């Protein structure tokens, strides 16, 4: 009888434990950094001089670098970025994609998706960046065959495969097709995100990749649709809409538009986390994932990290920015003077005295609107 028990144990034990082994890793992610290389104020504008030393400012690439470097030293981790590094400050106005590439190379993301603002300066701003970066840029819903300058670059790909702890992870990129309406050239053909992602996911599955992350720049609402309608995708990480997601009491002034992670449940019961980390380097998204041997996501948890004064600023980023800061400070000073003169002119007493009654109200409203638009364009980079 004892030999029967042993025999059945040998037969049943592998069956009972199949799929129990787990693969764990962490994803750090951010999006829409918009050239916020320096720390920012609470409202995401320029950090006033001296305020960072007082603990009143947040983010900046040097704090992003510290968080990424520390996480890499602690275990298996992916750092992913969902696009729009370009545009928004005088850093970008002066140094375009060249400095953006240098800074991102220090951060060394595992993959980056295209953002619509990466096309703001046509090839003049985009190609030097693409040629200089040392990481894959992913986007599956573009046809670049009529644009050989982009098509022939080896690091602009539909997807990439990252190996962690002997496990292969597929990263598929996507970009909002609305980009075509404000790109200054029209030789790129754009396709809808969901069919393009599904096609690329099938290609990865056929290569034996059973863990797939969609990394895109189409906005929170589209990201949730990707989670629902792309059955081979396990996790969706997005950008473009500057969406703040948080569960519980937020650590700063932002109001959550949804939970972190936002969980989309498919008809078969499969749960898919959807993630985004606001914008402007103020937060870093962080999620811990557990997959079984078959590539099924069995557990996940996480929360955004507020990049506040408690996080030190990494020295190599600080040194690189210090070497180029003088020209940026000069432009910032000129812009501040222009803004002050503009507001004084719009709200001057003599200008208002020339208008009475209804006309005066129109002047006030127009002045306020234009001043706010000017400030928004200069500070928010949207």
pLDDT tens-digit series, residues 203-246: 999 999 999 999 999 999 999 999 999 999 999 999 999 999 99
Q: What's the average model confidence in pLDDT over 170-191? A: 89
Token representation of residue 124: 């003049």
Q: What's the average model confidence in pLDDT over 301-326? A: 98
Token representation of residue 151: 């098509």
DSSP 47: P
What is the number of other CB atoms lying within 10 angstroms of the CB of residue 290?
14
pLDDT tier at 377, thresholds 50, 70, 90:
very low
* pTM of the predicted model as reported, rounded to 2 decimal places: 0.86
Please state the φ and ψ torsions of residue 158, each to the nearest 5 degrees: -70, -40
> Is-contact 215 171, C-beta < 8 A?
yes
- Which position has the higher pLDDT, 289 or 145? 289
The model's pLDDT over 52-80, given as tens digits with 9 standing for 90+, comes to: 999 999 999 999 999 999 999 998 999 99
Which region, left, alpha or beta, applies to residue 165 given φ > 0 means left and ψ of -120 to 50 means alpha? Answer: left
The model's pLDDT over 70-125, given as tens digits with 9 standing for 90+, comes to: 999 998 999 999 999 999 999 999 999 999 999 999 999 999 999 999 998 876 67
Q: What residues does each domain of the chain span?
A: 22-316, 333-368
The C-alpha atoms of residue 310 and residue 1 are separated, in whole angstroms, by 65
Say yes or no to pLDDT of 289 above 90: yes
| Short-list 206, 261, 195, CA closest to 231 | 195
> Is-contact 218 173, C-beta < 8 A?
no
Reduce the DSSP state of residue 2 to 3 states and report it: helix
What is the number of other CB atoms lying within 10 angstroms of the CB of residue 333?
11
**What pLDDT is recorded for position 17?**
39
**What pLDDT is recorded for position 374?**
43
**What pLDDT is recorded for position 358?**
47
Give the list of residues 6+ apart from residue 300 with CB closer than 8 angstroms, or none.
Answer: 235, 261, 273, 287, 288, 289, 290
CATH architecture of 22-316: 4-Layer Sandwich (3.60)
């Amino acid at each position: 009888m004892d030999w029967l028990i042993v025999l059945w144990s040998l037969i049943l034990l592998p069956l009972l434990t199949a799929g129990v082994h787990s693969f764990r890793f962490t994803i750090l992610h951010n999006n829409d950094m918009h050239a916020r290389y320096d720390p920012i104020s609470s409202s995401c504008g320029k950090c006033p001089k001296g305020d960072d030393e007082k603990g009143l400012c947040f983010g900046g690439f040097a704090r992003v670098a510290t968080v990424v470097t520390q996480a890499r030293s602690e275990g298996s981790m992916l750092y992913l970025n969902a696009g729009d590094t370009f545009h928004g400050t005088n850093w970008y106005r002066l140094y375009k994609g060249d400095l953006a590439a240098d800074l991102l190379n220090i951060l060394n993301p595992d993959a980056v998706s295209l953002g619509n603002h990466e096309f703001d300066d046509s090839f003049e701003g985009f190609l030097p960046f693409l040629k200089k970066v040392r990481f894959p840029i992913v986007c599956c819903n573009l046809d670049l065959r009529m644009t050989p300058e982009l098509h022939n670059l080896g690091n602009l790909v539909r997807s990439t495969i990252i190996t962690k702890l002997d496990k292969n992870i597929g990263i598929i990129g996507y970009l909002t097709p609305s980009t075509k309406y404000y790109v200054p050239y029209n030789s790129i053909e754009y396709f809808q995100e969901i069919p393009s992602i599904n096609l690329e996911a099938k290609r990865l599955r056929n290569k034996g990749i059973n863990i797939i992350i969609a990394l895109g720049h189409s906005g929170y609402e589209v990201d949730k649709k990707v989670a629902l309608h792309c059955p081979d995708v396990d996790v969706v990480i997005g950008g473009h809409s500057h969406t703040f997601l948080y569960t519980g009491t937020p650590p700063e002034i932002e109001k959550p538009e949804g939970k972190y992670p936002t969980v989309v449940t498919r008809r078969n019961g499969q749960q898919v986390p959807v993630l985004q980390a606001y914008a402007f380097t103020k937060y870093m998204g962080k999620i811990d994932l557990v997959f079984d041997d078959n590539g099924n996501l069995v557990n996940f948890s996480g929360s955004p990290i507020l990049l506040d004064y408690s996080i030190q600023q990494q020295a190599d980023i600080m040194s690189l920015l210090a070497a180029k800061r003088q020209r940026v400070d000069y432009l910032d000073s000129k812009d501040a003077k222009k803004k002050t003169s503009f507001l004084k002119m719009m709200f001057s007493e003599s200008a208002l005295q020339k208008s009475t009654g209804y006309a005066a109200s129109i002047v006030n409203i127009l002045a306020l609107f234009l001043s706010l638009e000017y400030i928004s364009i200069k500070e928010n980079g949207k």
